[in-house]
Every structure is written in structure tokens, then in C-alpha cells.
Structure 1
Amino acid sequence: MQPPADLLLPDLDRTGAVPMLRQVYLALRAAILAGALPPGARLPSTRALGRQLGLARNTVVAAYDQLLAEGFVTGRVGAGTQVSRDLPEGLDAAAPPPPPAAPPAPAPDAAHRFRPDAAAHQPSALPFNTGRTSWDDRSQAVWRGLTLRRLARPDPALFGYGDPQGARPLREAIATHLRAARAVRCDPDQVVVTAGAQQAIDLVLRVLLEPGDAVWVEDPCYPALRAALAAARVRIVPVAVDGQGMDVAAGIAAAPAARLAYVTPSSQYPMGVVLSMARRLDLLAWARRAGAFLLEDDYDSEFRYAGRPLAALQGIDDAGRVIYVGTFSKVLFPGLRLGYAVLPPSLLEAVRAARLLVDWHPAGLAEGVVTDFLAEGHFAQHVRRMRLRYRAARDALVAALAEHAPALAAEPPDQGLKLLARLPAGMDDVALAAAAARRGVVARPVSPMFLAAPPVAALMLGFSGHEPAALRRAAWALGAVL
């Protein structure tokens, strides 16, 4: 079949918005699909079509090569280029009408286990939102310099897959820091680097628990932890919290053979109380007797404003029952996505294997920069500067609430990045939080965090990562809502 004397193609767009190669390819493909170039038809030579379109021959050659690679045409020396005879018939037939829209398929039953607390994930930068951090010029300059240094002389390990447990230099730096700052008893071989504390918790739950296992949780409790336990299909056992922290005797009475207890001993989430030494010893004694494990979430212990940070529960464990979890999200910035777990030797290999299955390994470049930030002393200096900044923000918030919202009972916390503002009797914290949101203020209600204990009506107000002036304006808005 001879080539068309003058193959008609749509006018080409000469503005440069779409490359000429792409336009020629699409036009020829459309002619083939529409039947204007039927199977077996010869295409013009690349030189002739180039002259016809006013294009360089190489542009047409590249378009033909694309059609050849996709099977639309065939070509051999001396025979030119032909439309493939293997294309199905009826390419030019009108497409059948689409079938009527079917209702969306229901989610499988297993998918319903994954119901995170929507309020727990609040990316907003509005004042009082929790989980935000600050960053000063000095830390920014150091971080930029360390990153550029790593990029100028990249570690060969970056060009292959890393250790699922985390790079050893980072694990050594983490272990050194935890021994000095938190009295954690560990060596680098016990550390697993994760994508934040939440992944560390998830890995522990995957390895340790079977559906139906009993797990103690503080009441009230960290909502993301409760959602993770629900997804694991375990039996959640609420254990009341009082002025000394988790009531261990109540936990033993409710579920003496529980497999795991989740605790935030340095600053209970959300109430902020510290687990007393007597309760710590009782908890460790129960874990030894029951063969249970304790999951210690030490989420913001670096920021203590009265005296030295409290030692970790893990540091007084002599039976290998405590799993210690920490994160750099609260100290550096959440976008870093680096956390860690310090594991008893009996769990290490299983958690390491689970880490490999779900995420292969941590981000190597971030690992290197954090290693240098820790090992060269920048981390400790950053924490000291941020502690001063956050304390000033805390004090500004407490003073502003006393002026603009005196009905709230807000005491300055000795530790952490948020405070609890208790509401007057009879006031609904959920309704108040919704009204505040309409005024551009993110105030998290505390009563939904209770499971079985009588709920406390209060608002959780974050002060880290917010300037004092913004906190004062937000306190005025909250007072107006009240």
C-alpha cells in the first residue's frame, strides 16, 4: 500500500507549549486509531514528512521510533514504515457508551479497624495547636552547614539500601545521649531507628501482641495509641490516673495477666502528672511477675523547666521488661520523621525484622545530619536555647489566660510543650473547642480522651512553636468565646 501523497495532519502548535516530537507522535497515532492510516498503510518517509511539516528530519524520526516501540508501526530496511497489521480491527469504530456508574465497593471489614482520631492529626499552624516546634537562626545555620557537608562528601552507603535498625553511628549517638540525659541503660545494639515514635509503637505492637491480648492503657489516654491498639484488635484495659500517675493496683485488679502496659511516666498524656517512684516500682514488679512488658513513651522529657529532667523508667528496670520509645519530632522538628526504640534483647531481632518489612530502613541523609548534630554537641545547645524560648512562651500564655480567660484554671506545667486549662463546672469542652475553632484557635478538648474514668472538662493548649504575641492574641480570642 503506497503512502498517502500528502498525509493530512492537524496544524502544529509553534508556541513551544508542547514539544514538536510529541505533537507529531500524537497526530500519527490519532490517524492510525481513527483508520485514516489503516493496517498495512505505508507512512511517508521521515525526510518527506519533515519537509511537509517544516520540521527537522530527526524530530520525525523520533516520533516514528516512539510509534515503533509501542507497536503501532513496523519497519524494515528497504520497505519503509508501515502501520502494523497486528492491530485489532475496528479501531475507528465508535466507542461503546460507558456502563452505568456502579455504587462504590464497600471497604472490607479489616479496613474498619483503622479509624484514627481525626483531632490527633492537626497540621494547622494556628495558635494552641500541639506538636509544633521552634527553630532559631543558630540551629538553622548549623543544620544547613551539616547538610551541605554531607552532600559535598556523600557516604557511599547512601547509594544502596541501609541497615533496617538504623546506621550504627546514629545509634551510638542516640545511646550516648540517652545514657547521659535520661539515665537509660542501653548500648547501640538495642536501639532501632524509626520514622517517628508512632512507627516505633506500631512495630512493638505488631511483634508483641496477638488479637485479644489485654493491654493496660492510662485513662485518660493518648488517642493515637488507643487507635493503634484498636487496629491491632487487642483488649484495651483502661487504668485510672490520679495524682501519682497510673493506678497500678487498679490495673492488676482489672487484668492481672495483661501482656503490655502503655505508660507516659515522665509527663502523663494528657494530664501531665508524674508517675511516682512507688508506682514505678509496683509497675516493674508486676511486669516481672506477669511476664509482661512496659511500653514507656518518653515524648517530651527534654523540656523540663524546674530542675533536671526526670530519669526514665527504663533506667531502673533490671529484668528487661521496659521498651523505651523517644522521638526527635518534639525536640528538632516533626518533618524530620526520626524516632527510636530501645528494646530488651529478647525483642530486638523480631522488631528489626518488622522494621525491614514495613519500611526497609531510615532515610540515610537525615540519619547522617542528626548523627553530626548529636555527636558535635549542637543538639544539647539547641535544647538549652529552646527550653528558654518555650518557658517564655509558657509564661506568656499563662499570663494572657489569667487576663483574658480567668474562668479557666491554667497552671504552668513544670515539663512539656502544652498546658491543661480546666473549665468551670458544667461547661462543655467539646463545644468550647468547636467555638474556638471558628475564631481561628485550635484548642483540643480533653474529655474525649477518657475511656472509663469520669471525664475532666479541659482544653489542651500547646505553646511550643508559637510566638508569645500570637499566644496572647489567641488567649484574648478564647476569652471572647468563653
Structure 2
Amino acid sequence: MPPASAAVAEPGVPKYLVVYRRIRGAIADGQLRPGDRVPSVRALAAELNLARGTVEAAYALLVSEGYLTARGQAGTIIALDLPSAPGKPAANSTSTEQEQPLPLQLGMPALDAFPRKLWARLITQRARQTDSASLGFSDPRGYAPLRAAIAQYLGLYRGVQCTPDQVFICSGYNAVLERVCESLEMAGQDCWFEDPGYLHARQILLNRGVKLIPVAVDSDGLQVQQGIRQAPAARLAIVSPAHQSPLGVALSPARRQALLDWAREHSSWVLEDDYDSEFRYRGRPLPALKSQDQHDRVLYAGTFSKMLFPGLRLAYLVVPRAQVERFEQLARLLRNRCPELLQATVSDFLNQGHFTRHLKKMRQLYSVRRALLVKALEDVCGGRLKVDPQAGGINLLVRLLVDVPDTQVARRARAAGLAIEALSHWQLTAGKEGGLLMGFTNVASAEQAREVAARLLAVILEARPDGG
């Protein structure tokens, strides 16, 4: 093992992770061999002038990965049966542009379970059908057969009755927000925004000059009466009623009706973000708010990023009939930036029944993977955190039971290679209860679940105020 007296300091890297890397590196270099005894937590902490909790966190991570074996009073040794040659630990990077999703990354579907061979066959068939007409500018509203397939799917599965001319294809949910802001002339206008609410949407709206009115969310969803008290004449309300982002609660029937009544009475609009309502693990998926919209005040947004894969950058927007002409004008001005080849392939995916079969498969898979991560968190981190109960979605909300800021844990987790986000960052109003947001869809085994739970435990142990 490298000299213990060496300073434990790497800019931006948690101290426990520095200790972890040094021990793992010594194993890889052959300086520490199977059966060798490592210093006790107390002894190493004293020699490195660190808190015991820091060394304890490093040892806990090494034990979880199979590099150390704790033998109680006999001390801790290098495992006799080491894993295959230890590789490099997670890099200290927060970039979202990587080939594989980071562990616990939010909003990421199970990429390993996507039917790639089927998709490749469909897209190849479409590419072979390329003719001169398809090489020109595509319909700015979106590929007509895809818009028709979406309208049919929404009518059958989400209760949304619309015609293809009301459906507009956009290059992701960000583009949906841009279109809505432009069409409704939202610059300088009041907009109800769920608090906490979708972080990236908030940033886009603020950049557009929208005046956000934070409206609290509780176990029944958006507190509509609070919104009415704060800004009764707001031009727009943006909500995720089936599965609120990020708390995961559903908008209650009474509040759904209150929201629709408010929109009708004040000639306001509601943008429904129905981003992952298909993934519900208890009971049937909830109907869309748009399905109850008798006065046509709801704009309905959906995306294929979480149902298929994010690289598609493909979303859609259903607009009220009174807004179709305005959105058509805007579509002709801004153009549709979604490649028609991808739109046509998604159209085939829907029309040939692959989409509904894929969703059914993913619901079953996600139910299993969610249970794996929840069990691992409870077994490994029990007493330090609590998982919020949620009926659906592809993310978990975990509450900390230790006195440490969620932002501090999330920052250290990022440095340890875990793509965890702090709930506090999703809140407009300071001082609310914090938590940790994490995805579970790419946790493919019980072993992987326990490994990421152990890494999180190590982060929490080091982040405790007393360091112990």
C-alpha cells in the first residue's frame, strides 16, 4: 500500500474516494495481495489525519465490491477471491454525453432492453424506400402517417380524442416548450409552475422571459387553489398530472376538475406533460387530463425519449382546435428538425404493434428493477434513508434520514460516479424538504443494485456533519 503519510487531497474528489482509489490501485499493482491485512479504520484515519467516517466509507465501498473482507475482531484483509483485475473507478465527471448511462441516471430508459435488431430492420426497410420526394423538405407539422398513428394511439390508450391535424411533431420536449411559448406569446406572462417541478423546463421558460408562479405540490398534486390565490389570471399552467415530476404523485380528481374549471373561467391554457404515464406498477394507468377537457383548454405533450430511447429527440404536441392555425403558421416558420426517416420508422413501430408490446415488456421489467434497487437501498442504507412510495414512473425519490443537505450528498455522489440529483435543485421555493432523485431502469441485477447502494452509503457516511 502507498505510504499512509501521503497527503489525501485531489481537487474536487471526496477524501473517501481518494482512499478507496489508493487501496484499489495498490491491489491492482500487486502491492497488496489476497490475505494481507489492512490497517484498522481507527489507525488509518489517525495516520492520514482523516475522520473515521471517511475511512469507514472507503472500506465499505471496497467490501461491497469484493476487494476487502471484514473479519470482525480479526480485522480486515484483502479478499482471498478477488474480482477480475480491478479497473478504474468512476471518473469525476458530470458530463451527460457518454456511451453508457451513468448509474442511477434520471429519465433514462433501459437501453439494454430496447429491441435494437427489430429497430435496425425497420429503419433499413425505410431507408431502402427512399425516393426523390423524401429527399426534399418534409411536412413542417411532422410526418403525416406518424401524426395519424399518434392520434390513434392516444384515443385508444390515453382517452385523448384528437385528429391528426391537431398533432405536431417536435424535436424533443424542449422544442414543445419553445413552440408553446411562441404561440401563446408567453414572454412576460404569468405561468403556474409546479414546485418542485421539472428543472430543465424551468430553465427554458425563464430564458423565454416567462414569469413563473411557483405552486406547491402535495400528495394530491398541484395545489390549484394556491395558484388561484397567487395569480388567478395566469395565461398558462404547466402540469404533470398522471405522475408529477419529480415527486411522482398523481393529481387528484377534485383538483383535476378545479384546474379545468380555472382554465375555462379565465380563458387560460394548461400544458399537460404526460411524459411517462404508461409506466404504472399498481393499478391501471391514469387517464390523461386532456381526456376530461370538455372546453378544449389543454395542450397535451408526450415524448418517445422515455418510451423508446432519448437519441430519437422526438416528441409531440396535441393542440386545441382553436390553436391549430397558429401552430401551423409557427411550424412553417420554424420548420420541423426531426429527420423524416426516424419519424417514418417510429410510425412503423406504432402501426405494426411493436410499441404497445414494448411498453408491456418495459412495465414488467421496470417493476422488477425498481424492486431490486428499493430492496438494496433498504438493506444497505437502512436507517439513513427512506424511499418514497410511488405507483409508477422510471425514477425514485429517496428521503434522507440523516442531518446532511441533499445537495452535498448529490455532489459527492456525482464525484463517485452516481448520477443522483438533489431535490432541492428542482425547487423554486427555498427551505422545503429535500431528497435524492435517481433512476432505476438500468439497474439490471441484484448485485448491481447492492453495489450502487453501497457507493451511496459510502457517500452518506462521509457527508455526515461529524464525519463519523
Tell me the TM-score normalized by structure 1. 0.73
Tell me what 1:354 maps to: 330
Query: For 1:406-449, what per-residue CA distance to the aligned partner results, in whole angstroms no more than 9, with x for missing partners?
Result: 11111452110001000125320000111112221111000121
Taking the aligned partners of 2:200 and 2:414, their CA distance within structure 1 comes to 21
Report the residue type matching 2:169 in the other structure.
V
What secondary structure is seen at the aligned counterpart in 1 of 2:277?
A: coil
C-alpha contact 2:290 2:300 (8 A) present in aligned 1: yes
Taking the aligned partners of 1:352 and 1:470, their CA distance within structure 2 comes to 48
What secondary structure is seen at the aligned counterpart in 1 of 2:391?
A: coil
Tell me what 1:478 maps to: 456
Query: For 1:75-105, what per-residue CA distance to the aligned partner results, in whole angstroms no more than 9, with x for missing partners?
Result: xxxxxxxxxxxxxxxxxxxxxxxxxxxxxxx
Larger deviation, residues 324-333 vs 216-225: 216-225
Tell me what 2:254 maps to: 278
C-alpha contact 1:164 1:362 (8 A) present in aligned 2: no
1:81-100 paired onto structure 2 within 5 Å = none
Taking the aligned partners of 1:311 and 1:194, their CA distance within structure 2 comes to 23
Report the residue type matching 1:227 in the other structure.
Q
C-alpha contact 2:141 2:331 (8 A) present in aligned 1: yes
Taking the aligned partners of 1:121 and 1:320, their CA distance within structure 2 comes to 41
Tell me what 2:417 maps to: 440
1:359-370 paired onto structure 2 within 5 Å = 359-370=335-346
Tell me what 1:452 maps to: 429
1:10-29 paired onto structure 2 within 5 Å = none
Residue from 227, 237, 242 that aligns with 1:266: 242
Q: Does 1:184 align with 2:155?
A: no
Report the residue type matching 1:457 in the other structure.
G
What secondary structure is seen at the aligned counterpart in 2 of 1:452?
A: coil
1:97-136 paired onto structure 2 within 5 Å = 122-123=96-97, 125-135=101-111
Shift of 1:136: 5.5
Q: Does 1:408 align with 2:382?
A: no
What secondary structure is seen at the aligned counterpart in 1 of 2:393?
A: coil
Cα distance change, pair 481–337 in 1 and its aligned pair in 2 (3 A): same
C-alpha contact 2:193 2:239 (8 A) present in aligned 1: yes
Report the residue type matching 1:472 in the other structure.
R
C-alpha contact 1:200 1:340 (8 A) present in aligned 2: yes
Cα distance change, pair 478–425 in 1 and its aligned pair in 2 (3 A): closer
Larger deviation, residues 421-430 vs 267-276: 421-430
Shift of 1:209: 2.6
What secondary structure is seen at the aligned counterpart in 2 of 1:295?
A: strand
Residue from 152, 158, 163 that aligns with 2:139: 163
Shift of 1:361: 4.7
What secondary structure is seen at the aligned counterpart in 2 of 1:178?
A: helix
Bigger Rg, which one:
1
Tell me what 2:214 maps to: 238
Cα distance change, pair 121–440 in 1 and its aligned pair in 2 (3 A): closer
Q: Does 1:467 align with 2:444?
A: yes
Cα distance change, pair 454–466 in 1 and its aligned pair in 2 (3 A): same
Identity %: 41
Tell me what 1:293 maps to: 269
Larger deviation, residues 333-342 vs 412-421: 412-421
Residue from 211, 223, 248 that aligns with 2:199: 223
Shift of 1:452: 2.3
C-alpha contact 1:120 1:223 (8 A) present in aligned 2: no
Shift of 1:405: 1.2
C-alpha contact 2:388 2:399 (8 A) present in aligned 1: no
Taking the aligned partners of 2:412 and 2:187, their CA distance within structure 1 comes to 39
Cα distance change, pair 300–122 in 1 and its aligned pair in 2 (3 A): same
Query: For 1:214-264, what per-residue CA distance to the aligned partner results, in whole angstroms no more than 9, with x for missing partners?
Result: 110011111111112211212111111111111111100000110000101
Taking the aligned partners of 2:337 and 2:131, their CA distance within structure 1 comes to 16
Shift of 1:138: 7.5
Taking the aligned partners of 1:477 and 1:361, their CA distance within structure 2 comes to 41
Taking the aligned partners of 1:342 and 1:156, their CA distance within structure 2 comes to 30
Cα distance change, pair 121–260 in 1 and its aligned pair in 2 (3 A): farther
Tell me what 1:420 maps to: 397
Cα distance change, pair 328–120 in 1 and its aligned pair in 2 (3 A): farther
Tell me what 2:40 maps to: none
Taking the aligned partners of 1:156 and 1:466, their CA distance within structure 2 comes to 45
Taking the aligned partners of 1:353 and 1:147, their CA distance within structure 2 comes to 30
Residue from 290, 298, 304 that aligns with 1:314: 290
Taking the aligned partners of 1:404 and 1:123, their CA distance within structure 2 comes to 30
C-alpha contact 2:168 2:316 (8 A) present in aligned 1: yes
- How large is the RMSD of aligned CA atoms in angstroms? 1.8
Tell me what 2:128 maps to: 152
What secondary structure is seen at the aligned counterpart in 2 of 1:389?
A: helix
Shift of 1:471: 3.1
Taking the aligned partners of 2:183 and 2:113, their CA distance within structure 1 comes to 42
C-alpha contact 2:290 2:298 (8 A) present in aligned 1: yes
Report the residue type matching 2:96 in the other structure.
Q
Report the residue type matching 2:409 in the other structure.
L
C-alpha contact 1:127 1:471 (8 A) present in aligned 2: no
Query: For 1:365-422, what per-residue CA distance to the aligned partner results, in whole angstroms no more than 9, with x for missing partners?
Result: 0011111100000011111111111111100000000011111111452110001000
Report the residue type matching 1:449 in the other structure.
W
What secondary structure is seen at the aligned counterpart in 1 of 2:115?
A: helix
Larger deviation, residues 404-413 vs 162-171: 404-413
Tell me what 2:233 maps to: 257
What secondary structure is seen at the aligned counterpart in 2 of 1:442?
A: coil
Report the residue type matching 1:440 in the other structure.
G
Taking the aligned partners of 1:152 and 1:121, their CA distance within structure 2 comes to 36
Taking the aligned partners of 1:359 and 1:165, their CA distance within structure 2 comes to 8
Cα distance change, pair 450–411 in 1 and its aligned pair in 2 (3 A): closer
Q: Does 1:377 align with 2:349?
A: no
Report the residue type matching 1:416 in the other structure.
G
Q: How many residues align?
A: 364
Larger deviation, residues 153-162 vs 366-375: 153-162
Taking the aligned partners of 2:182 and 2:104, their CA distance within structure 1 comes to 33
C-alpha contact 1:163 1:361 (8 A) present in aligned 2: no
Taking the aligned partners of 1:462 and 1:137, their CA distance within structure 2 comes to 15
Tell me what 1:44 maps to: none
What secondary structure is seen at the aligned counterpart in 2 of 1:146?
A: helix
